Amino acid sequence: MNSQLIKRSSGWEPADAESVRAAYTTILSETANRSPSFAVQIHEVTAPTWAEHFGLFVRETFSFYTEALKAMSDTTWLALQVHATLHNRNQTPDTFSFETEESGLVDITAYRFTPALFNFTWEDNTLDRPWTPWGWDISILSKDSDDDHFFFDPATKRIIANRGESLSDIAFYGFEPIRLPRLSFFKVK
């Protein structure tokens, strides 16, 4: 009998330049011409200590990411981290550079992301600094005001967008609203 552990796939695979270019063009068109079906807004909270404040952020962000994964179907999505190229940035082999009419020259790091294969279980990493959401190669919430993060389903044209200039909002296009019970840090509007 084979006693080796069975590991689930991470759900992240490299994306090719052509599909990334087509997806990014579609995303720009869809977000320019449509309103979000809803947006999740991040609100500041107060806590007695920095550690408790940060712990609350991590736990509630985990709850939000869990609900987002439930709302995403098991089809493969494209996850795009779009960098502005107004300043020098170290490029990785996974980065594509595109010239676009809307945004000018951009660098895009991209992965194919399959939520059904993604192992996303709770572990207490609330004290990790810098904190990242458990293995997300590209997180939904951008940490850089120069970066836009998009999750795009080519089959349904559903989009999750977190634009760097608005770090407090995560917009959902083509979704039913996500219910976020018992969360104080996030609010559906």
pLDDT, one tens digit per residue, over 31-55 is: 999 999 999 887 776 778 877 887 8
pLDDT the model gives residue 38: 92
Task: Indicate the pTM of the whole model.
Answer: 0.86
| Domain span at 25 | 12-188
More confident residue, 119 or 48: 48
Position 1 in a domain: no
| Percent share of the chain, pLDDT over 90 | 35
Q: Are 151 and 160 in contact (CB under 8 A)?
A: yes
| Cβ within 8 Å of residue 155, ≥6 positions away | 75
Nearest partner of 139 among 41, 68, 71, 74, judged by Cα: 68
Position 158 in a domain: yes
Position 5 in a domain: no
More confident residue, 142 or 174: 174
- Tally of domains in the chain: 1
The CA distance from 156 to 154, in Å, is 6
Position 65 in a domain: yes
Position 176 in a domain: yes
* 148 burial level (CB within 10 Å; 0-12, 13-18, 19+): buried
**18-27 pLDDT tens trace:** 999 999 999 9
User: Furthest-apart CA pair in the chain: how many Å?
Assistant: 59
Position 110 in a domain: yes
Position 29 in a domain: yes
